[in-house]
Amino acid sequence: MPRKTGKKYTAALKQIDDKFYSLEEAVPLVQKIKFAKFDETVEVHLRLGVDPKHADQMVRGTVVLPNGLGKKIRVLVIAGSDKLKEATDAGAEFVGGEEMVQKIQGEGWVDYDAVIATPDMMRSVGRLGKVLGPRGLMPNPKTGTVTADVANAVREIKAGKVEFRVDKTGVIHAPVGKASFSTPKLVENASTLISAVVRAKPSAAKGKYVRSATVCSTMGPGVPLDVTSYNVTMKAV
């Protein structure tokens, strides 16, 4: 991705001191230096000391942010007829069975933010890998999106459940709310996410686990975090 070098970005960058910040310092700074006219998403980026090429060093999980993400999440549930009402009552926007699979296959339909499937539908849903996989929407038991308890899964996603997964470069990127949130809510969300990633450290990972971390808004520069405490916490476990 090309580096943003516009005047507003440069002006924001100049307000970041050459030091590492605590979350309590970084979040209000991110809110102060944001410059886009829309309500930017605040994101956390963590560079980990793992090699994702090895299955035993993959870092992946989910966490429900205590203050949500500040946006409406559209949920699709693909389930058998006995679960459709349960999914609708829980708040899913789109509910169906085989007809939903056919719609996605035939039309490339992706007008939703999360997909939940019941185990009995996975044989059909498995055909959707080429459409859902690249968008990070493929249901997976590890993230709780393949489940018979569709109502609970829908409620968790609506409440602000975030999936994190290390990419091929060893970095995790995850949203933690909107810039318009109060500072304490953003700090709590970011802390919750980072703690979940720290707890997910694979046993095969050696050396420093959290190598660097930044907090930023959608358009703004990253504010570097002091990661010392995250690595000390891991040694103490």
Instruction: Find the CATH number of the domain harbouring 184.
Output: 3.30.190.20
d(CA 1, CA 161): 27
Do 64 and 30 lie in a common domain? yes
Do 93 and 146 lie in a common domain? yes
Do 152 and 79 lie in a common domain? yes
Is residue 35 one of the residues assigned to a domain?
yes
Is residue 182 one of the residues assigned to a domain?
yes
What local confidence, expressed as pLDDT, does residue 206 receive?
86
Task: Give residue 126's domain range.
Answer: 75-158
Cα dihedral 148, 153, 155, 157, rounded to 10, equals -160
pLDDT tens, position by position, 45-78 = 999 999 999 999 999 899 999 999 998 899 999 9
Instruction: Find the CATH number of the domain harbouring 96.
Output: 3.40.50.790
Q: CA dist 29 to 19, 137, 205, 228, 230, Å? A: 13, 32, 32, 20, 21
State phi, psi for 214 to the nearest 5 degrees.
-140, 155
**What pTM was estimated for this model as a whole?**
0.81
> 12: buried, middle or exposed (CB in 10 Å: 19+, 13-18, 0-12)?
buried
pLDDT tens, position by position, 208-222 = 999 999 999 999 999
Is residue 118 one of the residues assigned to a domain?
yes
Read off the tokens for 72: 């409406």
**Residue range 194-218: mean pLDDT, rounded:** 93
Q: Estimate to the nearest angstrom the gap between the alpha carbon of 119 and the chain centroid.
A: 23
Q: Contact, 42 vs 178, CB < 8 A?
A: yes
What is the β-pairing status of strands 60-64 and 161-165?
antiparallel
Do 32 and 137 lie in a common domain? no
Averaged pLDDT score across all residues of the chain: 92
Nearest to 94 by CA among 123, 115, 108: 115
Please state the domain count of the chain.
2
DSSP category for residue 68? -
What local confidence, expressed as pLDDT, does residue 232 receive?
66
Under the phi-then-psi rule, with left for phi > 0, alpha for psi from -120 to 50, and beta for the rest, what region is 166? beta
| Packed helices 23-33 and 183-199: angle between N→C axes, nearest 10 degrees | 130
Q: What is 101-136 written as a DSSP string? A: HHHHHHH-----SEEEE-GGGHHHHGGGHHHHGGGT
d(CA 162, CA 63): 5
Domain stop point among 106, 140, 158 = 158
Read off the tokens for 30: 């991110």
Confidence of residue 195 (pLDDT cuts 50, 70, 90): very high
Domain stop point among 95, 123, 158 = 158
Do 145 and 204 lie in a common domain? no
Domain stop point among 96, 125, 158 = 158
d(CA 98, CA 157): 22
Do 154 and 199 lie in a common domain? no
